[in-house]
Amino acid sequence: MQRTLKARTARPPAATRPAQQRRFAAFRTEYNEVRPHAALGGLPPAMIYVPSPRPFPDRLGPRAYPGHLECRRVSSTGSIKWRDRAIWVSEVLAGQQIGCEEIADGEWAVYLVPCGSAR
Q: How far is CA 49 from CA 9, 32, 33, 34, 64, in A?
A: 24, 10, 10, 13, 34
Q: Print pLDDT tens along the chain (119 aa).
A: 889 999 999 999 999 999 999 999 999 999 999 999 999 999 999 999 999 999 888 877 777 898 999 999 999 999 999 989 999 999 999 999 999 999 999 899 999 987 655 44
- pTM above threshold 0.85: no
The domain locations on the chain are: 2-47, 58-119
Beta strands in 1-119 (DSSP E): 70-73, 79-82, 85-88, 97-104, 107-111
